[in-house]
């Protein structure tokens, strides 16, 4: 949401939270906003060298300074001047309030962590992607103050994920759904063991059966027994936050690799990593190979795996008679003042004459 002076705080107020904002002046869009629990008594801190071109809002909560940042992907300002501004603001806080902690968070887009850390001395603590495969949204701190950081699905409609930095117990992701699935791991060792068993298997009980149905029942029971013996079922938990290609098999391999890493078994770890990569490639082939390149079916598959639906929800209960007055009302600027009339030149009539 992009706030302007005409937007009242009461429109977007949240009970028990204080809204602090810094509207962008001079062009459409932009601006930063932060909601703080009212009991924290947050206040806006004005940096002495402030520049309204940059979208940075500083607030204070006791001895904590929080900078809320939005750096657009195509800024109208020079990136180096923006880094100079952040560096100077942090230095000003450190000099005037040496015992205070500093947190800077927001959407930094393509700014590198190295530049931010070198300029401000703050440490970046978000290590997961927040939009696609990119970590655009970040949190930088002056000292270790959080025990963990979680990247979760946003509670509002956004193509960015939300970040939760916590200092107490780990928060519960209410949007995370877990599903327990079963699968049968298959390894070369299991195949070799089965083949060795089959080489000595005696099928006399099947051959000596008196009728076909009895022979089939005995054979089927034997095969199921071997399947459960040599390829036992394993359970694994998958979540809706896992990528589409994370099958029960891949999830099981990921957990096995993590166990090996903790034990320092690097060679075995690398072997499983190759198997995981190949399994992902195989799953992608099964998903997309039946569709021709650029076809409607291919893009439908892409929308399915990315969770983006082509269809948009319609407002069936809203009539045009209601929409017209609404948009007419929000299109009127209550602070508009008509400009003063300009002086005009009176054209002489054809009957007038000029004399020297």
Q: Which domains does the chain have, with CATH numbers?
A: 9-166 (3.60.10.10), 242-303 (no CATH)
- Please choose, from the candidates 274, 303, 276, the residue with its C-alpha nearest in 3D space to the C-alpha of residue 288: 303
Report the mean per-residue pLDDT for the chain. Answer: 84
Q: What token pair was written down for 108? A: 């930094």
State the pLDDT at residue 70: 92
- Please choose, from the candidates 187, 89, 103, 178, the residue with its C-alpha nearest in 3D space to the C-alpha of residue 145: 103
| 121 within 8 A of 85, measured Cβ to Cβ | no
Beta pairing, strands 101-107 & 64-70: parallel
What is the C-alpha to C-alpha distance for residues 220 and 193, in angstroms, rounded to an integer?
20
170 three-class SS? coil
State the pLDDT at residue 338: 79
**Which positions ≥6 away from 113 have C-beta within 8 Å?**
124, 138
pLDDT along the chain (356 residues), means of 10: 69 89 72 90 91 92 94 90 94 93 93 92 91 90 91 84 88 79 89 93 91 93 94 88 83 89 86 88 84 83 65 56 76 76 62 51
Q: Angle between the 266-288 and 248-263 helix axes, to the nearest 10 degrees?
A: 160
Scored b (16 or more CB within 10 A) or e, 31-44 reads bbbbebeeeeebee
Query: In this predicted model, what pLDDT tens digit does every residue of 204-254 receive, in sequence order?
Result: 999 999 899 999 999 999 999 999 999 999 899 888 778 878 888 889 888
State the pLDDT at residue 121: 92
pTM of the predicted model as reported, rounded to 2 decimal places: 0.55
Query: In this predicted model, what pLDDT tens digit does every residue of 305-352 receive, in sequence order?
Result: 665 555 444 555 567 777 787 777 777 777 777 777 766 656 555 555
State the pLDDT at residue 336: 75
| 181 within 8 A of 238, measured Cβ to Cβ | yes
State the pLDDT at residue 316: 56
State the pLDDT at residue 346: 60
The DSSP output letter for 29 is S
State the pLDDT at residue 350: 56
- Please choose, from the candidates 250, 206, 240, 238, the residue with its C-alpha nearest in 3D space to the C-alpha of residue 225: 206
What is the C-alpha to C-alpha distance for residues 103 and 89, in angstroms, rounded to an integer?
12
State the pLDDT at residue 311: 47
Q: What share of the chain is helix, strand, coil (3-state, %, to 5)?
A: 35, 20, 45
């Amino acid at each position: 949401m992009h706030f302007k002076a005409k937007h009242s705080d009461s429109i977007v107020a949240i009970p028990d939270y204080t809204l602090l904002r810094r509207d962008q002046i001079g062009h459409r869009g932009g601006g930063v906003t932060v909601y703080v629990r009212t009991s924290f008594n947050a206040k806006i801190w004005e940096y002495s060298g402030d520049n309204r071109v940059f979208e940075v809002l500083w607030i204070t909560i006791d001895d904590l300074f929080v900078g809320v940042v939005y750096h657009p992907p195509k800024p109208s300002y020079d990136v180096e001047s923006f880094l100079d501004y952040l560096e100077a603001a942090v230095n000003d806080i450190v000099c005037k309030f040496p015992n205070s902690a500093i947190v800077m968070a927001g959407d930094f887009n393509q700014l590198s962590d190295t530049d931010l850390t070198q300029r401000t001395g703050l440490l970046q603590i978000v290590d997961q992607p927040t939009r696609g495969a990119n970590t655009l949204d970040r949190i930088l701190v002056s000292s270790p103050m959080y025990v963990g950081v979680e990247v979760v699905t946003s509670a509002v409609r956004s193509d960015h994920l939300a970040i939760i930095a916590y200092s107490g117990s780990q928060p519960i992701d209410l949007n995370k759904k877990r599903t327990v699935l079963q699968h049968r791991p298959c390894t070369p060792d299991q195949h070799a063991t089965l083949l060795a068993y089959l080489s000595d298997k005696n099928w006399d009980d099947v051959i000596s059966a008196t009728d076909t149905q009895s022979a089939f029942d005995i054979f089927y029971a034997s095969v199921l027994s071997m399947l459960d013996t040599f390829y036992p079922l394993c359970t694994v938990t998958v979540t809706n936050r896992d990528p589409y290609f994370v099958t029960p098999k891949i999830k099981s391999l990921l957990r096995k690799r993590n166990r090996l890493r903790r034990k320092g078994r690097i060679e075995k770890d690398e072997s499983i990593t190759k198997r995981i990569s190949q399994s992902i490639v195989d799953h992608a082939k099964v998903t997309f190979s039946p569709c021709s390149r650029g076809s409607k079916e291919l893009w439908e598959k892409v929308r399915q795996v990315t969770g983006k639906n082509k269809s948009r929800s319609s407002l069936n209960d809203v009539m045009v008679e209601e929409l017209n007055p609404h948009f007419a009302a929000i299109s009127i600027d209550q602070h508009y003042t008509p400009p003063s009339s300009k002086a005009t030149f009176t054209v002489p009539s054809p009957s007038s004459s000029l004399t020297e």
